[in-house]
Amino acid sequence: MKLTKIKLAQITKETLELKEKDLKVLPLMFLNIKKNDKHFQLTYNGFKMLKSCGFQHYKIKLAEQPTMKSLLNLDRNSPCPYYINKKKTYVLFFAEQPAILLQLLDGNLKQFEFNSDV
């Protein structure tokens, strides 16, 4: 089963027993709600919702303040939901593989490129 935003919203809604429709939960969770299987950047509320559902997350400290290009690269290449704090000092991934990859890169977002085919 492929991870999509709608599926994640449904799981979150059922787990937290929310009464809103799935399409109303999406803007609460994600910054970009246009594409269903890409651009998984979470809002603060989305991060708290997934954390409340018991999803495992991994906190990776960033080596330096990310540039706009590196943030776009992360948004395009992340196969899972992630949250970046306001100060942009760390990333929280809700999947193990991209977290390990970024940790191996010492938190350097400029070099982050996740290929799920590997």
pLDDT in tens for each of the 118 residues of the chain?
A: 678 888 888 899 999 998 888 778 889 999 988 766 778 999 999 999 999 999 999 999 999 999 999 998 888 888 899 999 999 999 999 999 999 999 999 998 888 876 554 4
CA distances from 115 to 77, 97, 112 (A): 8, 10, 10
pTM of the predicted model as reported, rounded to 2 decimal places:
0.87
Written as six digits, the tokens of 35 are 């594409």
8 Å CB contact between 109 and 89: no
5-33 exposure pattern, b = at least 16 Cβ within 10 A, e = fewer: beebbeebbeeeeeeeebeebbebbbeee
Q: Give me the pLDDT at residue 116, please.
A: 52
Q: Give the ranges where 30-67 is alpha helix by DSSP (H).
A: 44-52
pLDDT for 112 equals: 81
3-state secondary structure of 20: coil
